[in-house]
């Protein structure tokens, strides 16, 4: 059974702190790794799709790295703001079929002003 693990489950930081969390996935049959940001009562929003080992993506204060050989991706937030409070989901795609996408349970980030 394919498993995607995210850690930590939840994180509480102060405004201005930088933070990072991890997504671990199987290192075989890699196709792509997606990061989503999900605010309560809103739609999960696509942040990044990463496909190559060593990929680095950046969007404002948020960045992500990818290591397909060892099966992990890191998401970093620099200088966290209260509006960054959300659950961050990663999803591992393991083949060409569009249905081959497994989600982690997410890391819930709370940023206190």
Residue 41 makes contact with another protein by CB under 8 A: yes
- Closest contact distance (angstroms) between CB of 96 and another protein is 8
Pairs from 62-71 (Cβ < 8 Å, separation ≥ 24) = 64/35, 66/33, 68/27, 68/30, 68/33, 69/27, 70/27, 71/24, 71/25, 71/26, 71/27, 71/30
Residue 106 makes contact with another protein by CB under 8 A: yes
- Closest contact distance (angstroms) between CB of 61 and another protein is 21
What residues line the site for another protein (CB under 8 A)? 31-32, 34, 36, 41-46, 49, 51, 89, 91, 93, 97-99, 101, 103-106
């Amino acid at each position: 059974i394919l498993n995607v693990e995210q850690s930590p489950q939840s994180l509480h930081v102060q405004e201005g702190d930088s933070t990072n969390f991890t997504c671990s996935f199987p290192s075989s049959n890699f196709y792509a790794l997606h990061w989503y940001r999900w605010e309560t009562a809103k739609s999960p929003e696509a942040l990044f799709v990463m496909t190559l080992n060593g990929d680095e993506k950046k969007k404002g204060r948020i960045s992500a790295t990818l290591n397909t050989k060892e099966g992990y991706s890191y998401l970093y937030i620099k200088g966290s703001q209260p509006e960054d409070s959300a659950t961050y989901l990663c999803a591992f795609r393991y083949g060409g079929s569009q249905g081959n996408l497994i989600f982690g349970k997410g890391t819930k980030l709370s940023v206190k002003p």
